[in-house]
Amino acid sequence: MFGSSRRGFATLAGVWLTLASGAARAQVDGDDLGDLSLDELMQVKVSTASNVEEKLGDAPATVIVLTRAELEHRGYRQLGDIFEDLPGMDVVRPHGDNWLLVYWRGFRGDVSAPYLLMIDGLPVNSLYFLDVDVPITAFPLSSIERIEVVQGPASSVYGPNAFMGVVNVITQSDADVDGLTHRIQLGVGTERARVVDATVFYKQGTLRFRLGARFETGVLDDAHAGLYEYTRPDYYRDRQLWGGFVDNPGLAGFHSRHVAQALDAHLYKDDTELAARWMSFASGYGVEYAGDRALNNAVWRRYELDAYLRHKAQLTPSIESRTVLRYRHGGIGNDSFFVDGYSDPLAGRVAAFSYWQSGNDSMSAFQDVAMAPVRGFSFIAGLRLEQKDLQKAYDVNGEGPSGTPGGYEPVDTIDASDYAYPEPPADVREPQNRITTEDVGAYLQLRKDVTDDHHLHLGGRIDRNSGYEVAPTVRAGYVGKLRNGVGVKALYGQAFQEPPPRVLYGGWDGSGSDPDLRPQRSQTLELDASLTLTNLWQGLAFYTVHSTDTIVVGATPTNVGEQLVLGLDYTFRALVPVRRFQRIELWGSYTRIFHAEEELQVDDGMGGTTRTQVRIGDLSRDKLHLGASLERDRHLSATLRARWFGRRAVTPTNPVGSVDGYATADATVSYRDLRDTAPLSRAALTGHSHLDLVWLWTEQVGEGKAVHTFAN
CA atoms of 169 and 165, how far apart (whole Å): 13
Q: What is the pLDDT of residues 289-318, one digit of tens each?
A: 999 999 999 999 999 999 999 999 999 999
pLDDT at 21: 63
pLDDT at 29 over 70: no
pLDDT at 456 over 80: yes
Give the gyration radius of the chain's Cα atoms: 26
Four-residue CA torsion sign, 153, 658, 570, 668: negative
β-strands 469-481, 583-603: how paired? unpaired
Q: Which residue has the higher pLDDT, 137 or 6?
A: 137
pLDDT at 608: 67
- In Å, what is the CA distance from 349 to each residue of 214, 239, 346, 413? 42, 11, 9, 11
pLDDT at 624 over 50: yes
pLDDT at 712: 38
pLDDT at 172: 96
pLDDT band at residue 677 under the 50/70/90 scheme: very low
Sequence-ordered list of residues with C-beta below 8 angstroms from that of 227, at least 6 positions apart, any chain: 2, 3, 6, 8, 704, 705, 706
Q: What is the pLDDT of residues 162-197, one digit of tens each?
A: 999 999 999 999 999 999 999 988 888 878 889 999
pLDDT at 696 over 80: no
Mean pLDDT, range 244-262, rounded to an integer: 93
CATH topology of domain 13-710: Maltoporin; Chain A (2.40.170)
Q: Which residue has the higher pLDDT, 693 or 256?
A: 256
Q: What is the pLDDT of residues 325-340, one digit of tens each?
A: 999 999 999 999 999 9
Q: What percent of the chain has a predicted confidence (pLDDT) above 70?
A: 87
Q: Which residue has the higher pLDDT, 276 or 468?
A: 276
Beta strands in 580-685 (DSSP E): 583-603, 609-615, 619-620, 622-631, 636-645, 648-649, 658-659, 662-672
pLDDT at 20: 65
Check: CB of residue 558 under 8 Å from CB of residue 602.
Answer: no
Q: What is the DSSP letter of 58?
A: G
Mean pLDDT, range 599-617, rounded to an integer: 74
pLDDT at 672: 76
pLDDT at 506: 73
Mean pLDDT, range 395-408, rounded to an integer: 95
Sequence-ordered list of residues with C-beta below 8 angstroms from that of 271, at least 6 positions apart, any chain: 311, 312, 313, 314
Report helix, strand or coil for 167. strand
Sequence-ordered list of residues with C-beta below 8 angstroms from that of 37, at least 6 positions apart, any chain: 534, 535, 575
CA atoms of 239 and 246, how far apart (whole Å): 6
Q: Lowest mean pLDDT of 20-29, 96-105, 484-493, name the range.
A: 20-29
Nearest CA-CA partner of 361 in 128, 113, 136, 116: 128
pLDDT at 410: 97
Mean pLDDT, range 84-101, rounded to an integer: 91
**Which residue type does 141 have?**
L
Mean pLDDT, range 468-487, rounded to an integer: 93
pLDDT at 193: 87
What is the rounded (10 degree) CA torsion for 92, 93, 97, 102? 40
pLDDT at 698: 36
CB atoms within 10 A of CB 523: 16
pLDDT at 7 over 50: no
Mean pLDDT, range 89-103, rounded to an integer: 91
CA angle 139, 143, 148 (to 5 degrees): 80
pLDDT band at residue 612 under the 50/70/90 scheme: confident
Q: What is the DSSP letter of 31?
A: H
Q: What percent of the chain has a predicted confidence (pLDDT) above 90?
A: 66
CA atoms of 275 and 214, how far apart (whole Å): 17
Nearest CA-CA partner of 391 in 332, 464, 463: 332
- In Å, what is the CA distance from 19 to each residue of 139, 196, 208, 663, 688? 18, 11, 21, 33, 6
pLDDT at 75 over 90: no
Nearest CA-CA partner of 692 in 17, 69, 11, 193: 17
Report helix, strand or coil for 138. helix
Q: Lowest mean pLDDT of 39-43, 484-488, 527-531, name the range.
A: 39-43
Average pLDDT, the chain: 87
Residue length of the chain: 712
Mean pLDDT, range 354-359, rounded to an integer: 97
3-state secondary structure 248-277: CCCCCCCCCEEEEEEEEEEEEECCEEEEEE
Sequence-ordered list of residues with C-beta below 8 angstroms from that of 400, at least 6 positions apart, any chain: 352, 406, 407, 408
CA atoms of 483 and 479, how far apart (whole Å): 14
